[in-house]
Amino acid sequence: MKNPSTEEALRVYEKLSLARLCEEKIREIYHLNELKTPVHLGVGAEAIGVGIHHATVSEGAKYFGTYRNHTIFLAATRNPHAFFAELFGKVTGSCKGKGGSMHLMSPEDGLVATSAVVATTIPVAVGCALAQQYRNSQALAVVFFGDGAMEEGVFWESLNFACLKRLPVLFVCEDNQLAIHSPIGNRQGFRSVENSLGSFDLAYSSGEGRDVFDVMNQTTTIVDRMRRDKQPGFLHLSYFRFLEHVGIGEDFTAGYRKKPLAKELDAWDPILIARERLSRMGVQSNEVEALEGKIRQNINSAVEQSRRDPFPPPEELMADVLARKMP
């Protein structure tokens, strides 16, 4: 396994921490009813978005996500103001407040589109990969989706097309074994993702998505295989969803899943794992705390700024429906 330098590890940790701390901030202020947007928090999943983004961003990759997109948005933009302003519905948000939490996107930073209807960005990423092939570009399309998306027809349609055309697209299944509140055993008539994908012409790899540095290595390995064999890749990563499907709470008492022991929860926490890795590299905990303090400060000023920012003016209602505004 390739180990990052301490400097690189800290840069990665900064992105990981930004995602976690932004979501903690959401949990802290959501009760004020200022963020009028359905939030699908990614606590527990941060290592996947950050690790894959970090490992592929130098390849000129284009990213496509779901409604659980906060991590990839913050990894791509590192801009908590564009993030919070969008959640506040302000015109300074990444989408002028018209998208909200479920549609955070920033094409200028490589995050092309995210979407609230399960599996809908999968074919769009395949189309993006087709465009790269069409133009002989070396860029990669990376699409994130959950295990539930594998039950959608368009997932299989897109996979088939990508494999047939040998397109440079990396499918990333963020597998938390849950679709909303339905466990995987109630939903899937197949037992193994790997076997189900077995006859498709693609590079497949599966593993855990809790250790960001490990995710980076898994990503680099599969992208190398994709490049070598000129075929799509499928990276299947497991993680633990700490919170409810939508909203800021835990929901272990809802009856559809049991609360793990504290020790088990800690073992699935990408932040604790990354801190442990940093400590083993010799990074002092006060250094990590200082970094987090700086991030918290940025987040606080982003929230304050977003509060002060204006809502979109009335003319924004009809702007950007079409290229030219219609009367």
Partner 1 sequence: MTFRDAINLALADEMEADPSVFVFGLDVDDHKRIFGSTRGLVEKFGPSRCFGTPLCEEALTGIALGAAVEGLKPVLVHIRTDFLLLGTNQIINMISCLRYLSGGKLAAPLVIRAVIGRGWGQAAQHSKSLHGMFAHIPGLKVVLPGRPQDAYTLLRGAIQDPDPVIFLEHRWLYDVDGPVEKDRPASLALNGSEVLQEGDAITIVTTSWMSVEALKAAEVLGRSGVHLEVVAVKVAAPLEVERIVASVRKTGRCIVADYDWTFCGFSSELAAQISEACFHELKSPVRRLGFAHAPCPGTRPLENLFYPSAVQIIRETEKILGLSAMDLSGESFYTYEENFRGPF
Interface ranges with partner 1 (CB under 8 A) = 62, 93-99, 103, 105-108, 112-113, 115, 117, 120-132, 134, 141, 153-154, 157-158, 160-161, 164, 319-324, 326
The distance of Cα 144 from the centroid of its chain, to the nearest Å, equals 7
Whose tokens are 């055993």? That residue is 185
Residue with smaller CB distance to partner 1, 39 or 126: 126
Q: Are 318 and 312 in contact (CB under 8 A)?
A: no
Q: Which strands, in side-by-side order, build the sheet including 169-175?
A: 111-114, 62-65, 141-146, 169-175, 233-238, 203-208
Minimal distance in Å, beta carbon 85 to partner 1?
A: 11
Residue with smaller CB distance to partner 1, 163 or 274: 163
Q: Which two tokens stand for residue 235?
A: 């990276």
Residue with smaller CB distance to partner 1, 266 or 320: 320
Minimal distance in Å, beta carbon 117 to partner 1?
A: 5
Minimal distance in Å, beta carbon 108 to partner 1?
A: 7
Provide the residue count of the chain. Answer: 327
Minimal distance in Å, beta carbon 199 to partner 1?
A: 15
Residue with smaller CB distance to partner 1, 134 or 313: 134
Residue with smaller CB distance to partner 1, 35 or 271: 35
Minimal distance in Å, beta carbon 164 to partner 1?
A: 6
User: How many other CB atoms sit within 10 Å of the CB of residue 98?
Assistant: 16
How far separated are the first and last CA of the chain, in Å rounded? 60
At 215, is the secondary structure helix, strand, or coil? Answer: helix
Task: Catalogue the E-assigned strands of the chain.
Answer: 62-65, 111-114, 141-146, 169-175, 178-179, 182-183, 203-208, 233-238
Alpha carbons 222 and 324: distance in angstroms, whole number: 43
Cβ-based burial of 312 (10 A; exposed 0-12, middle 13-18, buried ≥19):
middle
Alpha carbons 178 and 175: distance in angstroms, whole number: 8
CA distances to 50, 84, 168 from 56, in Å: 10, 25, 12
Minimal distance in Å, beta carbon 198 to partner 1?
A: 19
Residue with smaller CB distance to partner 1, 53 or 62: 62
Minimal distance in Å, beta carbon 13 to partner 1?
A: 30
Minimal distance in Å, beta carbon 321 to partner 1?
A: 5
Q: Are 171 and 234 in contact (CB under 8 A)?
A: yes
Alpha carbons 196 and 188: distance in angstroms, whole number: 11
Minimal distance in Å, beta carbon 166 to partner 1?
A: 13
User: How would you classify the pairing of strands 111-114 and 62-65?
Assistant: parallel
Residue with smaller CB distance to partner 1, 14 or 157: 157
Residue with smaller CB distance to partner 1, 50 or 129: 129
Residue with smaller CB distance to partner 1, 38 or 183: 38
